[in-house]
Amino acid sequence: MGFPKNFLWGAASAAYQIEGAYNEDGKVPGIWDALSEGHVKHGENGNIACDHYHRYKEDVALLKKLGVKVYRFSVSWPRVMSGPDTVNPKGLAFYSDLVDELKAAGIEPMVTIFHWNLPMWAHEKGGWYNAEISDDFANYARVVADALSDRVRFWFTVNEPTTFIGNGYFTGAHAPFESLMQEQPAVMMNKLAALTKNVLLAHGKAVRVLRSRAKLAPKIGMALNGSVYLPENESPDAIEKARTQMFPEQAFFSHFNWWADPAVLGCVPAGLQPFFTAEELKVICQPLDFFGFNCYNASNYEEYMGPNPAVVPGMPRTAMDWPITPDALYWAARFLTERYHLPIIVTENGMANIDFVMSDGAVHDPQRIDFVKRYLAGLQRAVDENIPVKGYLYWSIMDNFEWAEGYDKRFGLVYVDYQTQQRIPKDSFYWYADVIKNNRIS
């Protein structure tokens, strides 16, 4: 029992959600800075967030106290590149300092190159619709690699294209708040295919850049998400049914295979086939070192397509209203390794809870402890069945700006008081520290 030796226990965050300093040291606006007004609860934004830009030393000290082996953060594209070919040295210096601080604390940095805050200069020339974006992205990746790859080994190209394309251009819930839902099916498909292709080309070109320029031998993956289906029981038929639901032939952008088939297997799901040339697929399909995926819940209970009979009245849900489905990590790890034959890293898992500072001055969050305990039990089962699970990163190290939900939804192991910027480790922080120390669920 327990997890493998050298298991990569960690926590994750993303630039726009924690850094603040939205207009300091030469940072230019991104789509979340410039366009989110009127789209976020209570009119909130990430201008200050957790002020991590100024408090990163205190935050790294907390990570050290937690005992994590790895910390996944993202670099902000508009902080580092003020135009397609213009580097902002002060912005880059922030990440170099952060990496130094992490290394000094004995923590291995993991860099996500893109976690959603697209620079406005890229958006203004068409954003992910413009074919130029993959070269701009590769250029940005080169700048980051040149600055950090003497100390950074782990790289993730893009975080959750399902979400930033789906929410950003399809439903309109996230920046740049555009919607394709009213379009004619053929127009919609053309546009989705263009967005998808540009994201995948950006990924492939960034992998090439990292492989050719990184000073430390890089370990590269994506941080994907997609629908995960739990089988109704463990009969071969039910398992097969869940697998086909998860990787349908008629895939859509919400399915893992929409992204991962081209990137990992070099083949394209049915609906996308007319849009990709063999040449493009060669660029997109690059050797990867692991399959990173974010997973919060199984999709069996989703209702966005209409009422779903699987939904049980009163079923356990988090503060986001997401169902609590602990077996999701097991089935995701199993189905994803069976299809893609790569080692697995859970790049995000966690929950929003109704956390507040209680009358004793502490933040008690037994729901979160129980949530992680049960999800990790699923991951433990995967480990016991020799599924190559290399790491688990809790989302998030601290409470932060939860996109369109603003600051109400708290996912952190550390509570953040946004009035004072005081950090308070929650009970789950101490519990997770024990898990890491013992390399097993306590």
Q: Terminus-to-terminus CA distance in the chain, angstroms?
A: 12
**Residue 348 interacting with ligand GBH (CB under 6 A):** yes
What is the number of other CB atoms lying within 10 angstroms of the CB of residue 260?
24
Please tell me whether residue 225 binds ligand GBH under the rule CB under 6 A: yes
Q: Does 24 bind ligand GBH (CB under 6 A)?
A: no
Q: Supply the DSSP symbol for 43.
A: G
Q: Which is nearer to ligand GBH, 252 or 322 (CB)?
A: 322
CB 207 to ligand GBH: min, Å: 20
From the candidates 37, 348, 385, 402, which is the catalytic residue? 348
Site for ligand GBH in 152-211 (CB under 6 A): 159-160, 163
The smaller minimum CB distance to ligand GBH, of residues 14 and 87, is found at 14
Minimum distance from CB of 196 to ligand GBH (Å)?
17
Q: How many helices (H) and strands (E) does the chain have?
A: 15, 12
CB nearer to ligand GBH: pick between 286 and 294:
294
- Under rule CB under 6 A, residue 73 binds ligand GBH: no
- 318 near ligand GBH, judged by CB under 6 A: no
Asked if 402 is an active-site residue, the reply is no
Listed ranges 18-26, 36-44, 180-188, 291-299: which one lies at the site for ligand GBH (CB under 6 A): 291-299
Cα(268)–Cα(275) distance, integer angstroms: 9
Hunting for tokens 């991590």 — which residue is that?
Answer: 52
260/291 Cα distance (integer angstroms): 9
Marked catalytic residue, from 160, 178, 240, 402 = 160
Minimum distance from residue 101 beta carbon to ligand GBH (Å): 22
Cβ of residue 159: shortest distance to ligand GBH, in angstroms?
5
| Binding of residue 134 to ligand GBH (CB under 6 A) | no
Distance CA 193, CA 342 (A): 26
70-74 and 8-12 beta bridge pairing:
parallel
Residue 380, H or E segment: helix 366-384
Q: How many CB atoms lie within 10 A of CB 144?
A: 23
Choosing from 294, 337, 353, 380, the residue that interacts with ligand GBH (CB under 6 A) is: 294
Q: CA-CA distances (angstroms) from residue 292 to 8, 165, 237, 264, 410?
A: 12, 18, 27, 12, 23
Residue type, 57: K
Residue reference for tokens 């910390």: 71
| Whole-number Cα distances in Å, 251 to 61, 106, 234, 270, 293 | 43, 42, 24, 7, 18
Residue 399 interacting with ligand GBH (CB under 6 A): no
Among 252, 322, 418, 430, binds ligand GBH (CB under 6 A): 322
- From the list 187-195, 234-242, 297-305, 369-377, the region that binds ligand GBH by CB under 6 A is 297-305
CA distances from 52 to 19, 46, 103, 277, 417 (A): 4, 11, 17, 43, 13
Whether 24 is a known active-site residue: answer: no
Does position 53 interact with ligand GBH (CB under 6 A)? The reply is no
Whose tokens are 């379009």? That residue is: 183
Window 351-390: contact mask with ligand GBH (x via CB under 6 A): ----------------------------------------
Helix, strand or coil for residue 369? helix
Q: Is residue 414 at the binding interface for ligand GBH, with CB under 6 A as the rule?
A: no
The catalytic site residues sit at 160, 348
Which stretches of the chain bind ligand GBH, using CB under 6 A?
14, 159-160, 163, 225, 294, 296-297, 299, 302, 322, 348, 395, 402, 411
